[in-house]
Structure 1
Amino acid sequence: MDGKELYGRELTRSECRNAEEALLILAEKRPGLTSANGKRICNRCGNQDRKKMLAAPCACGTTCFYCLSCLNMGKIKSCTVLHHLPEINAFERPIEPILQWQGQLSSEQQRASEEIVETVQAEETRLIWAVAGAGKTEMIFEGIAACLRKGGRVCLASPRVDVCLELAPRIKQAFPAVPMALLYGGNEDGYSYTPLVIATTHQLLRFREAFDLLIIDEIDSFPYHDDLGLQFGAQKSRKKASALIYLTATPSQMMQNDIKRDKLAATVLPARYHGFALPEPECLWIGDWRKAISKKKMAPFLKLIRRQLQTDRRFLLFLPHIQLMEELDGWLRELFPDKQFTCVSASDPDREEKVKKMRAEEYDFLMTTTILERGVTFRDIDVIVLGAEDRVFTEASLVQIAGRAGRHKDYPTGWVCFAHYGETKAIQGAVRQIRMMNRDAGRRGLLNGTMSLLPK
């Protein structure tokens, strides 16, 4: 590690083990935990909850408190020293053309792009509320380029590793001459000092006042939306004078309220770039599907799957829990031995390879937990949610899942089914939200079926 790799970062001594001693002497230092108003505060994640601070004998010779909130990033103790070098953007400005994307934005994408550039230049905050499949990634290109042109440092962050892995090649293709780092837990490539960073929101905890532009994709996604530590880390990673862009198809109610009260600037895009309406889900009652799986008893949902297979249309089959999915996987292999399919979850070490095979159309269908509810695009698929009434499937989750269908400009339609054992408020709310966006898009004349010129 050289000095540049400490710029804009805040690391423990063990994380700096390859740094030159002279640089460590120059680095600003502060304790991992400090006390204020009778509370211990973790300087990495901002945790102040006494229940998330534990005391234990320490190698330093005393009993040290340590933070449980960010323990998965390494232990922060009372005796921990954090090292930081201020970010001075010590990299060469990229050579023009910085942005080499050759596609064309729709009129709505162009409107969002211009407002993002204005936000970047004014160093303000903006929410991009765009329906799933609106082409959010393409909208941010000019904003990123505007920041890089003035020598700024940019981070595109997401709570989900899968989203980062999906974004990285697209961003690299758009900015091929700009050095880029991809940061997530378990990435063997490690850290390098670059003007462009793609990272999980957990990785932001290791930064401090580093970025001139921070873009957070899928802000409503687990675990970011209700994790105060990750939100603290995101704010800590920005320079005091910087721009912040939020991206989501399903903003929280608090954010929606802030928009109504003019506390948060927002750009709302109710239509997809290709001009076709969002697929409106069909809600079907399927009885006690859990009991049917456990007892291998014929049930309505099997007819649903069989009918879908007969159409020769590939599909995603979402389930709420891994164990149920694995039980169903074994049973379906007995019922449909000639079909190609598999299942995937967050704990699956082969999930990246399986998603690639689904994208390459090697499977007839892919069974999945909510790990694929967002951030992934398949060319031409339908979607079935089995057990949509489960509390795992929130309104936002169901909206995102429905948004997997009809995303591609050459295949802009698709069938979405919420198969349930009783409708919930989340199911009703998701359907209502999708219909509301379609009505809004229709009133604004955006559902004309006109195809944009985005590349395949």
Structure 2
Amino acid sequence: MLTLIGRELLFSELREPLEEIAGIIQMEGFCEKNGQIKCNRCGASESSDRQSAPCACGPVCYYCRRCLQMGKVKRCSLLYSLPESNQFLPLQEPILTWKGDLSQQQQEASQDIIQSIESGETRLIWAVAGAGKTEMIFKGIEVALRNKKRVCIASPRVDVCLELAPRLKKAFQEVEQVVLYGGAEDPYQYTQLVIATTHQLLRFSQAFDVLIIDEIDAFPFPVDQSLQFAAQKAKKTDGTLIYLSATPSKKMQQAIQRKTVAASILPARYHGFPLPEPQLKWSGDWKKAIRQEKRKGAFFKQVEELLIRKRRFLVFLPNIVLMQQLALLLEKEYPARQFATVYAEDPERKEKVLQMRQEAYDFLLTTTILERGVTFRDIDVLVLGAEDPSFTESALVQIAGRAGRHREFPRGLVLFYHYGQTRAIKGAVKQIKRMNRLARERGLVKS
């Protein structure tokens, strides 16, 4: 029965027989209002989101295509739930076992978060990459847990969830937590502290007193209305919603200006050094150079220089095909060097990232999958083909944010190699410089 509390599941997902679950609530899979048909799980209401299909219930049935990956919600389906009652046992003190220190701006943001949790408001924490967002939320989580509130930290990216989980476990050592994502090996269990991808929020309803969404600008959350619907549905009506982002959308920035969303802006990194500002480098027709196996030009000279200096680095490319072509070229040029390629569907992605952290590789070639959610100790960053549409302003800011994150290595090289400057390139550079300027004005960074 515990596995259904605060959840919204299909019959096939229930672990106990219906007759053994007291107080169960049933809701139809779809509802119709003012001629509009809507999926009750994900909120999809476009006709293109529904697919007609034969069904045992009769000749006229359909299912929701939008949330199909989470299980088929049909016209004849029922969704089952139990209300969240917050019957948690008192936690062993100290709840927060993290002993680190917060910077001045982190302390201010932490207090803002606590205030938002106590008042039940929505707040955006706009913090540059490397500002220490995770540490800022610890005190707020502690306050919520002590008051028997249920807390969820969610992110659109599995990588982010997997990086957050051990950090939260270390910070709250006596607090049981569950980590939810597609393909997770461990089964769901009812806990007061939950870490989940935003897709997993589709299976919750009125569950969380505090919902913290990290990397709200990460694909697909900004463009997927069903995930935004799921977030609102998973949060209690009077609950708190905290957004974390280094690159909030223009819409969110406008909401801040209109003061319709409370915001805490943190322009400096926790270690007090400015953000590495990207240098723009003309690369010419770099795709042609790779196809013709020409190992000349500014990019290849830079790779050579970094290897000679024994600098470890990341190279971001627009797509897998170009990445693999470049990998073959670099293998021929540097047969003794250790490196790997990483992309979203790479089955060895986690292991490769771990090996890079352990400094087993000299460099990594990657798509935008590593633009966020990963931290390396001392790294330089190169973007080849920064003019490609896949490199949005947000992506480029995040990519630049991989450099200089560590307290002992606060500086790093960031190079955008391009075949023509784009609005995204200019916008990313402008945003990074603006944050550095704001940090200096507030006296938050060292010269």
Is contact 1:287–1:299 with CA below 8 Å preserved after alignment? Answer: no
Match in the other structure for 1:373: 371
TM-score (norm 2): 0.98
Letter in 2 for 1:163: V
The counterpart of 1:349, out of the listed 347, 351, 354, is: 347
Is contact 1:116–1:140 with CA below 8 Å preserved after alignment? Answer: yes
Percent same amino acid among aligned pairs?
A: 58
Letter in 1 for 2:419: Y
Once the 2 structures are TM-superposed, how far is the Cα of residue 26 of structure 1 from its aligned partner?
Answer: 3.2
State the alpha-carbon separation in 2 of the partners of residues 23 and 200 from structure 1. Answer: 30
Letter in 2 for 1:105: L
Letter in 1 for 2:290: I
State the alpha-carbon separation in 1 of the partners of residues 16 and 90 from structure 2. Answer: 25
SS of residue paired to 1:434: helix
Q: Find out whether 1:100 has 2:97 as its counterpart.
A: yes
State the alpha-carbon separation in 1 of the partners of residues 154 and 381 from structure 2. Answer: 27
Deviation per CA, 1:282-339: give whole Å up to 9, x if none: 0001111111222212341222221221221100110110111112112211111010
Match in the other structure for 2:314: 316
The counterpart of 2:23, out of the listed 16, 22, 26, is: 26
Once the 2 structures are TM-superposed, how far is the Cα of residue 71 of structure 1 from its aligned partner?
Answer: 1.0
Match in the other structure for 2:60: 63
Extract unaligned runs of 5+ from structure 1.
450-456
Deviation per CA, 1:411-430: give whole Å up to 9, x if none: 00000000111110100110
| Mapping for residues 280-429 of structure 1, pairs under 5 Å | 280-300=277-297, 301-429=299-427
State the alpha-carbon separation in 1 of the partners of residues 395 and 330 from structure 2. Answer: 25
Letter in 1 for 2:356: M
Deviation per CA, 1:119-155: give whole Å up to 9, x if none: 1011111100000000000000000001000001000
The counterpart of 1:241, out of the listed 238, 243, 248, is: 238
State the alpha-carbon separation in 2 of the partners of residues 257 and 187 from structure 1. Answer: 37
Match in the other structure for 1:89: 86
SS of residue paired to 2:61: strand
**Alignment length, in residue pairs?**
446
SS of residue paired to 2:284: coil
Match in the other structure for 2:438: 440
Deviation per CA, 1:90-132: give whole Å up to 9, x if none: 3312111000001000111001001100110111111000000
SS of residue paired to 1:140: helix
State the alpha-carbon separation in 2 of the partners of residues 25 and 125 from structure 1. Answer: 34
Q: How well do the aligned residues superpose, as a CA RMSD in angstroms?
A: 1.0
Match in the other structure for 1:252: 249
Once the 2 structures are TM-superposed, how far is the Cα of residue 190 of structure 1 from its aligned partner?
Answer: 1.8
SS of residue paired to 1:63: coil
SS of residue paired to 1:97: coil
Is contact 1:56–1:65 with CA below 8 Å preserved after alignment? Answer: yes
Match in the other structure for 2:191: 194
Once the 2 structures are TM-superposed, how far is the Cα of residue 65 of structure 1 from its aligned partner?
Answer: 1.0
Is contact 1:12–1:82 with CA below 8 Å preserved after alignment? Answer: yes
State the alpha-carbon separation in 2 of the partners of residues 74 and 62 from structure 1. Answer: 21
State the alpha-carbon separation in 2 of the partners of residues 26 and 308 from structure 1. Answer: 64
Deviation per CA, 1:5-37: give whole Å up to 9, x if none: 100000000011x21332446311011112121
Extract unaligned runs of 5+ from structure 2.
none
Is contact 1:406–1:412 with CA below 8 Å preserved after alignment? Answer: yes
Q: Find out whether 1:228 has 2:235 as its counterpart.
A: no
Deviation per CA, 1:248-302: give whole Å up to 9, x if none: 0001111111111111110001000111000000000111111122221234122
The counterpart of 1:211, out of the listed 208, 212, 222, is: 208
Once the 2 structures are TM-superposed, how far is the Cα of residue 402 of structure 1 from its aligned partner?
Answer: 0.2
Is contact 1:317–1:367 with CA below 8 Å preserved after alignment? Answer: yes
Q: Find out whether 1:43 has 2:45 as its counterpart.
A: no
Letter in 2 for 1:74: G
Match in the other structure for 1:13: 11
Which runs of 4 or more aligned residues in structure 1 lie more than 3 Å from their structure 2 counterparts after TM superposition?
Answer: 23-26
Deviation per CA, 1:333-358: give whole Å up to 9, x if none: 11110100001111101100000000
SS of residue paired to 1:155: strand
The counterpart of 2:118, out of the listed 118, 121, 137, is: 121
Is contact 2:274–2:446 with CA below 8 Å preserved after alignment? Answer: no
State the alpha-carbon separation in 2 of the partners of residues 241 and 92 from structure 1. Answer: 22
Is contact 2:379–2:404 with CA below 8 Å preserved after alignment? Answer: yes
State the alpha-carbon separation in 2 of the partners of residues 162 and 147 from structure 1. Answer: 25
